[in-house]
Amino acid sequence: MINQEYKISFRVVSIVLCIIAAVFFATCTADAASIVSETESNDTMGAANYINVYEKPTIKGDFNSDEDVDFYTFTVEQGGLLTMKFKYYGEKPAKYYGNYELLRYELYSAEDPEQYLSYRVAEYNSNLGYASAEEKYYTSAGIYYLKVKGIGTNDYEISVEAMDAYEDFAEPNNYIGQATELQEGKILHGVMAENKREGEDSDFFKISADEEGIYEITLRNNDIGGDSDRGNCLGMFAYDASGNSIDLFYKENKGNQSWCYVETPHTQESQRVHLLKGDTYIKVGTLGQWGYYEISYKKVKGQDKLIKEAITNTQITSLKVKTSAKRKVTMTWSKSQSTYAVSGYEIRRSMKKTSGFKKIATTIQRKYTDTKVKFGKTYWYKVRCYKDIEDGARVYGKWRQIKVKVK
């Protein structure tokens, strides 16, 4: 009886182990790189051999003459990093254009099949005994072609790998009308692709503010521009729905402006900005660098406190006054310096410079005409902005004063 139970238990354990081994083997097989053999004729883009770059293929091929070229095609489903490694098993050649060049490869996009995006050469390495090269390339989603040509009739190997998709929003979003909606508190990951000409790859995002307030926009430079001699130029730019620039960002010693940059890889820039209710558009772009970035936004807590601080420290600008023969005093002024939209303006008047001021009007316009003045008299006027906030309070800005004599 014991032996029978032992045999049954042993069989159960054996079956479980076999299942585990089968699953493990299947997983390993799925993760392993696939071998792809070149199939002739593949001398043109139209006859290119298809490869699946997400299966990490290693291509094995050869050239049947010095004139032979081979084409391969693949699809990148989302923006990310493409890694290509080349080996060519030719003999050490005579110097060719100053280099021991054995293999040349060119990368094309289906969007522009006449002009290669990138090309490299694989040079003979005396320590390895063959020519080798490696390239990393940031791509956007699309169809690509790889062209290879060698010197001599020898074997070659090419391994191609696309990283897991990094960009987690739909392309294209190169214009305001294609903008990706940013959700408050959610980080979106993007890639600046090399297969765009300088300045052409850009991503637009839309922030839909449900109310006016202070919001924080964060742009993180993960690895863009680290080895560029033109600086690290990941930037964000602000626009309204009509494509007009908005001076949304603040730069020390330069004031408000429509853009800001993240200067260094692996750092981020967080800007507190004032947004009106409605849609604001943020464009992310570079000056010819490539790589990964992140963008997010959130509403800043304690809005009433921020509003009070902003309004109480602001003042109208360009206060001007003129009189007319009809005994009128007309005042005009410019928008307040606050980043917040004000609710209105309060005007006070006195016949003394430092005392006796009485409220004569409030207005939502940046203009007021006083008709209750006397000819030949001198008056002092004071104007300040105000804003009504959620708790029912009215917050006032600083006074600006002007003197006028009625003529």
Please state, in angstroms and rounded to a whole number, the distance separating the CA atoms of residues 307 and 188: 29
Rg of the chain's alpha carbons, rounded to an integer?
Answer: 34
Look at the alpha carbons of 136, 140, 143, 144 in this order and tell me if their dihedral is positive or negative. negative
Quote the tokens at residue 59.
Answer: 């291509």
Based on the fold, state whether residues 263 and 294 are members of the same structural domain: yes
Last residue of a domain, one of 299, 326, 346: 299
Look at the alpha carbons of 23, 25, 30, 31 in this order and tell me if their dihedral is positive or negative. positive
Which residues of the chain register pLDDT less than 70? 1-33, 93-101, 164-165, 195-200, 226-232, 251-256, 337-339, 391
CA angle, 262 then 266 then 269, to 5°: 35
Q: What's the pLDDT score for residue 81?
A: 87
Based on the fold, state whether residues 215 and 266 are members of the same structural domain: yes
Last residue of a domain, one of 299, 328, 346: 299
Based on the fold, state whether residues 207 and 130 are members of the same structural domain: no
Based on the fold, state whether residues 326 and 257 are members of the same structural domain: no
Q: What's the pLDDT score for residue 192?
A: 87
Q: What's the pLDDT score for residue 13?
A: 45
Please indicate, yes or no, if residue 332 is contained in any of the structural domains.
yes
- Inter-residue contact 181 to 247 (CB < 8 Å): no
Please indicate, yes or no, if residue 29 is contained in any of the structural domains.
no
Please state, in angstroms and rounded to a whole number, the distance separating the CA atoms of residues 201 and 192: 6
Based on the fold, state whether residues 318 and 279 are members of the same structural domain: no
Please indicate, yes or no, if residue 15 is contained in any of the structural domains.
no
- Inter-residue contact 115 to 174 (CB < 8 Å): no
Q: What's the pLDDT score for residue 196?
A: 61
DSSP string, 302-315: -HHHHHHHHHHT-B
Please indicate, yes or no, if residue 324 is contained in any of the structural domains.
yes
Please indicate, yes or no, if residue 54 is contained in any of the structural domains.
yes
| Three-class DSSP category at 216 | strand
- Per residue in 241-283, pLDDT (tens digit) is 999 998 888 766 565 677 888 878 889 999 988 888 899 999 9
Using the structure block, give the residue that is written with the tokens 């090399």. 194
Based on the fold, state whether residues 288 and 194 are members of the same structural domain: yes
Based on the fold, state whether residues 114 and 201 are members of the same structural domain: no
Q: What's the pLDDT score for residue 407?
A: 82
Last residue of a domain, one of 299, 319, 342: 299
Q: What's the pLDDT score for residue 94?
A: 58
Paired with 15 in beta bridges are none
| Three-class DSSP category at 121 | strand
Please state, in angstroms and rounded to a whole number, the distance separating the CA atoms of residues 75 and 71: 14
Using the structure block, give the residue that is written with the tokens 């020390």. 252
| Three-class DSSP category at 243 | coil
Counting the structural domains of the chain, the total is 3
Quote the tokens at residue 166.
Answer: 């990094």
- Inter-residue contact 72 to 140 (CB < 8 Å): no
Return the number of other C-beta atoms located less than 10 Å from residue 77's C-beta: 11
Based on the fold, state whether residues 290 and 319 are members of the same structural domain: no
* One-letter amino acid of 20: I
Strands across the sheet containing 367-370: 317-324, 328-334, 367-370
Range of the domain at 337: 308-405
Please indicate, yes or no, if residue 345 is contained in any of the structural domains.
yes
Based on the fold, state whether residues 195 and 147 are members of the same structural domain: no
Based on the fold, state whether residues 124 and 229 are members of the same structural domain: no
Which CATH number goes with the domain that contains 209? 2.60.120.380
Quote the tokens at residue 280.
Answer: 């604001």
Please indicate, yes or no, if residue 351 is contained in any of the structural domains.
yes
Q: Cα 29 from chain centroid?
A: 37
Strands across the sheet containing 180-181: 180-181, 202-209, 278-285, 234-239, 259-262
Please indicate, yes or no, if residue 93 is contained in any of the structural domains.
yes
Please state, in angstroms and rounded to a whole number, the distance separating the CA atoms of residues 261 and 267: 11
Which CATH number goes with the domain that contains 345? 2.60.40.10
Based on the fold, state whether residues 280 and 399 are members of the same structural domain: no
Q: What's the pLDDT score for residue 194?
A: 79
Based on the fold, state whether residues 221 and 260 are members of the same structural domain: yes
Please state, in angstroms and rounded to a whole number, the distance separating the CA atoms of residues 407 and 373: 10
- Inter-residue contact 335 to 366 (CB < 8 Å): yes
